[in-house]
Amino acid sequence: MERVDFTETSPLKLEILFSMALLEPRPVEIVIKETMMPNATESLPMWTITLERLFLLSLENAIFFEKYNGKFKSMILSFKNKTLVFILLIYFSSIPFIKSQSPSKDCFETATDRPELYLPLLKNKNVIVAANQTSLLKNKKHLVDFLVENNIKIKSIFAPEHGFRGTADAGEHVKSGVDKKTGLPIVSLYGDNKKPKAEYLKGADVILFDIQDVGVRFYTYISTLTYIMEAAAENNIEVIVLDRPNPHDGYTDGPMMRDKWKSFIGLHNVPVVYGLTIGEYGKMVNGEKWLKNNVTAKYTVIPMLNYHKQKRYGVSDKPSPNLPNDKSINLYPSLCFFEGTQVSVGRGTDLPFQVYGSPWTKNFAYQFTPKPTEGAKDPFLNGKLCYGENLSQYSKDLRQLNLEWLLKSYKNYKNPQQDYFLKNLFFDKLAGSDELRKQMIAGKSEKEIRESWKKDLENFEKIRQKYIVYPN
């Protein structure tokens, strides 16, 4: 249960409460069955404000319910001023007669575009913002600039892999510095400093996290969020996540991460595709006690409006240099295994994560040559002619990993002097264990490989279901 403290009331907080009720306004209907809540005195009947939202008013609390995945989850709005509750009761009782314009149920908004829900939580607080180039409002204004305009006291910026402006190569060491536009200090959370040090948190009250993820285990932004949560818990600092769409939401697939192979590209025992938004993922990390020493962070998710896990919404900006568009993001979970092999995924071309090929798979017709580019200063197989496939016209919206390309490439690889898999066995870190590599060597079919994932995926689904916030 998420708790928002309204004990110190203000016109702005009232406005937020009223806006919750007025989203998609409908005639009020009395629910026949009364619902009694803990600590409620002289409970009143529950009223439906919309098909998705409910309010229960008592002398001490207003309990706000929002319907997700067929169930109502509650948020308690606590008051010391009991007179205010009676005012609210009168206000809500008048709603049946209100006929106002409102967003349709198809009107989608990211959490960043719902400032009425998060600005009050930041007022008079010292805030650290974890952000990058994807931290945009729908008008393309950057979150940091928006917060500065609204007089939020920003202490510093935490930048993930690829940096605050998102131009660094994958794995490139990103230096700390200063944002030229705002003059705010930037602390890199990549390289040797993946977890915020206590000195960087000194004086902070809140860490506000707003970074577009892609919903895949080896994409490092969920690891950055984990380390932020861990450091925040150790230093008694709240973490607020502004939720964004997961472009691979609504399904789970792939091999499970095993403890022996955990790293920054896979900190938790989850499958390659885990089917949670980054806000939901953080709730799972907290709820399953996956932070170091079983600490629990003070953690709040600001939800999106009208988000559905089976729909696809696109992204505000490319989440990293080599995922430039929806096509590359769609193919990413299936093609990233190649990063542990002698096969290029198109880094250093105009089609990163939309092509694959190797100098030693000459049976393929398509050819390309990786060359240095922004975001791929020294691409794998730089300057070498590669033979493979061009998937840039692949139109299927993938809802499972496609192993066909990996298995086809492996079977066509011919280089007796060099093994298909890199010597450092980075492939195993990507796959979560050595099992997939050994299955490929043994000549297992895609069907057999998928069957080996089934039990782990079923067990993970039991965990995942506990943290789903949105309709699935």
Q: Provide the residue-wise pLDDT of the chain in tens; the chain has 472 residues.
A: 444 444 444 444 444 444 444 444 433 332 322 233 333 323 333 333 333 344 444 434 444 444 444 444 444 444 444 444 444 444 444 444 333 344 455 699 999 999 999 999 999 999 999 999 999 999 999 999 999 999 999 999 999 987 786 454 444 455 678 888 899 999 999 888 899 999 999 999 999 999 999 999 999 999 999 999 999 999 999 999 999 999 999 999 999 999 999 999 999 999 999 999 999 999 999 999 999 999 999 999 999 999 999 999 999 899 999 999 999 999 999 999 999 999 999 999 999 999 999 999 999 999 999 999 988 999 999 999 999 999 999 999 999 999 999 999 999 999 999 999 999 999 999 999 999 999 999 999 999 999 999 999 999 999 999 999 999 8
Q: Cα 137 from chain centroid?
A: 16
- The pLDDT of residue 215: 98
Separation CA 374–CA 301 (nearest Å): 34
Cα distances (angstroms) measured from residue 450 to each of 261, 372, 403, 436, 458: 20, 36, 9, 10, 12
Which residue, 62, 45, 73, is CA-closest to 7? 62
Ramachandran area for residue 210 (φ above 0: left; ψ -120 to 50: alpha; else beta) = beta
| SS3 state at 283 | helix
Return the number of other C-beta atoms located less than 10 Å from residue 95's C-beta.
Answer: 19
DSSP state of 268: S
Return the number of other C-beta atoms located less than 10 Å from residue 57's C-beta.
Answer: 24
Q: What is the DSSP string of 186-251?
A: EEE-STT--S--HHHHTT--EEEEE----SBTTSTHHHHHHHHHHHHHHTT-EEEEE----TTTT-
Cα radius of gyration (the chain): 24
The widest CA-to-CA distance across the chain, in whole angstroms, is 82
> Would the CA dihedral through 271, 273, 275, 276 be positive or negative?
positive
